[in-house]
């Protein structure tokens, strides 16, 4: 990385002397900032280092939500219809509500368990002992479910699906009395 800065400084110095001082015409003394060849060269070096810094700044690479890179566990988003099909399939799936207790008591999807998003931290939740279990996560609108899905994946859960919010769930709902 230092070599890039060195090359930038060298190229900038050459640019400063030959372009800013010689070619633009400041050698005649008409440009007060660059009438001195040393100052023009220093300006060029600084400019070259700044440009080299732009090229060496690491770029954040975006990863698609449903990336299927082997060995990499990624966040997966599914629709309410797909979640309902998984629930009705007869397979063993966990329906996870990550809203607050009050929201859960008002209405929830039948058969779901409650683990509020705020309680998911750096330890695996007791209600989810199997990291390979299929977990379907929802909240009210889809924000907390996405956060919770990413937290669970970071904890090592391998089969996590976010199906958004209960406001988009057109199927049966239950209440807690």
Token duo for residue 4: 């890039």
Q: Is 139 a catalytic residue?
A: yes
Enumerate the β-bridge partners of residue 108.
Answer: 174
**Best CA proximity match to 132, nearest among 151, 114, 152, 150:** 152
Cα→Cα distances 20→33, 46, 116, 125, Å: 10, 13, 63, 64
**Long-range contacts: 17-21, Cβ < 8 Å, 24+?**
17/41, 17/44, 19/44, 20/44
Catalytic hit among 87, 93, 115, 139: 139
Active site residues: 139
């Amino acid at each position: 990385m230092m070599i890039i800065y060195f090359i930038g400084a060298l190229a900038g110095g050459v640019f400063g002397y030959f372009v800013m001082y010689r070619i633009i015409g400041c050698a005649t003394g008409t440009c007060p900032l660059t009438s001195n060849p040393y100052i023009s060269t220093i300006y060029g070096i600084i400019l070259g280092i700044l440009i080299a810094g732009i090229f060496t700044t690491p770029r954040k690479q975006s990863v698609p939500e449903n990336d299927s890179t082997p060995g990499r566990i990624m966040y997966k988003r599914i629709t309410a219809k797909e979640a309902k099909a998984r629930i009705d399939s007869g397979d063993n799936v966990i329906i996870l509500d990550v809203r607050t207790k009050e929201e859960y008591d008002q209405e929830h999807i039948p058969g779901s368990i409650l683990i509020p998003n705020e309680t998911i931290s750096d330890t695996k939740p007791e209600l989810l002992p199997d990291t390979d279990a299929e977990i379907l996560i929802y909240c009210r609108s889809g924000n907390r479910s996405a956060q919770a899905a990413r937290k669970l994946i970071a904890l090592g859960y391998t089969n996590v699906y976010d199906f958004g919010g209960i406001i988009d769930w057109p199927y049966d709902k239950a209440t807690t009395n």
